[in-house]
Amino acid sequence: MAKGLDKYQERLNIVSGFGKNLARRSKSKCELCEASGVKLSVFEVPPVKEEPNYDRCIFLCESCIELLKNIKKSKENDFRFLSGSMWSEVAIVKVTALYILNNIKDKYSWAEELLENAYLDEDEKELLKTIDFEIK
């Protein structure tokens, strides 16, 4: 039991250690909605593996983290900011934005319209396939 807890704590330390680099990468703005001057936290894009992976982490504000808990339940304008982040130069940010749009496009036509203009290279297409928020 104690051992499991140590491992959990150790993992947590590694992930929060990414924060410094993520703050630089994001210029201290939420990487999805670009909010600044707010509390930002490291978010691991699921499925989360045992080994923390910096390239699958994004720096997010609390309101985005809340929205990601239930993508399907989002309201029409909740994710409008993805029109900006879908062009991010950071692959995992871009691909996460597109993943969300894919999951709301049947509900909101603006999301479908954005996706018509989206462009992914081969690596990004592969990365997109690995994301799974377990949306039912």
Chain positions contacting Zn ion, by CB under 5 A: 30, 32-33, 35, 61, 64
Q: Which is nearer to Zn ion, 4 or 131 (CB)?
A: 131
Nearest distance in Å: CB 65, Zn ion: 8
Length of the chain: 136
Nearest distance in Å: CB 63, Zn ion: 6
Q: Which is nearer to Zn ion, 3 or 77 (CB)?
A: 77
Q: Which is nearer to Zn ion, 32 or 93 (CB)?
A: 32
Nearest distance in Å: CB 81, Zn ion: 7
Please report the sign of the dihedral spanned by the C-alpha atoms of residue 67, residue 63, residue 30, residue 117: positive
Nearest distance in Å: CB 91, Zn ion: 18
CA distances, 34 to each of 5, 18, 69 (Å): 34, 19, 19
Q: Which is nearer to Zn ion, 64 or 127 (CB)?
A: 64
Report DSSP letters for 18-67, one per residue.
THHHHHHHHTTB-TTT--BSS-EEEEEPSSPPSS--GGGEEEEEHHHHHH
